[in-house]
A and B are shown apart, each in its own frame.
Chain A
């Protein structure tokens, strides 16, 4: 009897791996994890800014994805679907944390008008003349200084490309709150980037 053909996981595209995984093939799923783990982890890290938390949430996202694989019908790419799962888990976690932590001063400032909101916009490009890697590093540092609520809106809008309405639905706030948080987050980020530029100027 001829030996059955061995599945070539690394050379199979995502949709093929998904189909095998839906039939219970964990090796196909492992290949999907291997392909997209950095992106999923990076998204969790951007939201949470905590290595262990991001690691746990990204792994939890993969477990959830396995349990819900039958719900994936290819309306979006597998990576997009996975990103949605991990972001939802991060938002749940942020909500839980918000319940136990008191509102930050920064948040209260935002509600009251905010320092950055009233600050005049500077015309200097804070990343001008910097190498790509350095710009990334500075953005990362500045993102880490935003509150989870502001960071979440910024990530969903700028990196996930969601519209105000979609963000409002995902987070469970009004469109007005999304607009306000996005505005504040952008101004705060611009202000932090300016600050980093000044700090590092000789």
Chain B
């Protein structure tokens, strides 16, 4: 059997061919069991699909789903939209990252001249990380920081709380 015959048979079953050609193919199906089986399979899979369309529900709450749409369609928010309509959610996160990142960068600059701490070095040369908490002499004695130091990269970063 040729591929064209298969596709024509399918087109007949989908109502996309004229009745005369379809009658010819139907007669051919009666003579050729393989073609007949193929016709039955197409009909069967078509019916099964149409009668059992899988059901999927929105996996978030109505409010959450709507808020994200509303943010895009209300005039006060539309003026702030970027070329990417979903950017505002990232933008909100970035608004927090910018000051935190700036603070971390400033702290890193402050710490870079530090000499390497021999206690935190490893013989394998792999990245070593040391985390400590200390009080800063910045006039805010209650402040503490977490330090990240990578000897292999030559970087020290302070997160200030």
Contact = CB atoms under 8 A, between A and B. Distances in A.
A binds B: yes
Contacts of A55: 58-60, 65
A31 B59 CA distance: 18
Contacts of A106: none
Interface string B4-24: 001100110010100000000
Contact of B50 (A58, A158, A164, A189): A158
Interface in B33-61: 34, 37-38, 40-42, 44-46, 48-50, 52-60
Say what secondary structure dominates the interface of chain B.
Answer: helix
Interface string A48-78: 0001001110111011001100000000000
B150 interface: no
A128 B69 CA distance: 42
A59 B65 contact: yes
Interface residues of B, number: 39
Given A29-B73, A34-B62, A120-B34, A189 B45 contact: yes
A186 B45 contact: yes
Given A33-B65, A121-B37, A190-B41, A38 B56 contact: yes
A18 interface: no
B3 interface: yes
B68 A143 contact: no
Interface in A85-114: 113
Contact of A59 (B14, B34, B69): B69
Nearest to B69: A62
Contacts of B40: 121, 123
Given A33-B66, A63-B73, A159-B53, A123 B37 contact: yes
A149 interface: no
A55 B52 CA distance: 22
B20 to A, nearest CB: 19
B110 interface: no
Interface in A119-163: 120-123, 125-127, 132, 135-137, 139-140, 143, 154, 157-159, 163
Interface of B: 3, 6-7, 10-11, 14, 16, 34, 37-38, 40-42, 44-46, 48-50, 52-60, 62, 65-66, 68-70, 72-74, 85-86
29 contacts: A30-B66, A30-B70, A33-B69, A38-B56, A38-B58, A46-B54, A54-B56, A56-B86, A59-B69, A63-B69, A63-B72, A66-B69, A117-B6, A121-B34, A121-B41, A127-B52, A136-B55, A139-B54, A158-B49, A158-B50, A158-B53, A159-B50, A159-B53, A179-B11, A180-B7, A183-B7, A187-B41, A189-B49, A190-B44
